[in-house]
Amino acid sequence: DANDEPAAVLLERIKKEKERLVKEGKVKKDKLSQSIIAEEIPYKLPTNWQWTKLCEIGLINPRNEVDDSKIASFIPMNLIPQYYNKEIRYEVRKWADIKKGFTHFADGDVVLAKITPCFQNRKSTVIYGLKNSVGAGTTELHVYRPINNLINPEYVLLYLKSAEFINNGISKLTGTAGQKRVPNEYFAENPFPLPPLAEQKRIVTKVDELMKLCDELEARQ
């Protein structure tokens, strides 16, 4: 829709919001990210979209500041769903018991399994419904956190589950056989096609409709 606020404007809003959070000491300043070069751009985008990177439009692998006495959610790898739009299950733990040695996440975060074969099996999800809205879990996760609802997390999830992202990621795996992992650089800095926020929501709504149709067809079989 040509009437949508262009993604370039959205990017500027996110940039200013991150600068404000850094100034207030709520997040750390990002390391400088290399600009996307022409050779990295896989295809042409609509005029009001913008190529960017997840590290430029949110927080990567953030940490939670939570009181030790709080009850929180714990999610091991076996509870990370591989299918789209599946309910998330979790264990209940005291925050003091899981704050060290595990990956932190919170409601609204998008998580991606980084180890094989979980990565190829598309184990990724948007986190919702955590105890006190916070949790921790398997160390084999990359985490993306939107800033102030300026990015639709379900749209990011669709990107992470896309064949293009998975197939390109397989070629970037590092480590020994059986223990290969998706490097943080690929997760955080791979070219990300950013639509206007309104378009993100329309895309997610359409996918939800199509996935519901797929479920109905499967049930009929």
At residue 33, the pLDDT reads 73
CB atoms within 10 A of CB 172: 14
At residue 209, the pLDDT reads 95
CB-based contact 204:154 (threshold 8 Å): yes
At residue 221, the pLDDT reads 86
CB atoms within 10 A of CB 130: 22
Helices (H), the chain: 7-23, 95-98, 153-161, 163-170, 184-189, 197-220
Tell me the sheet residues that pair with 135.
73, 105
What is the CA angle 51-46-127, rounded to 5?
Answer: 55
Query: pTM of the predicted model, to two decimals?
Result: 0.93
**Looking at residue 104, what DSSP letter applies?**
E
- In the chain, which residues have pLDDT < 50? none
At residue 32, the pLDDT reads 66
Task: Give 18-48 as a 3 state SS string.
Answer: HHHHHHCCCCCCCCCCCCCCHHHCCCCCCCC
**Looking at residue 211, what DSSP letter applies?**
H
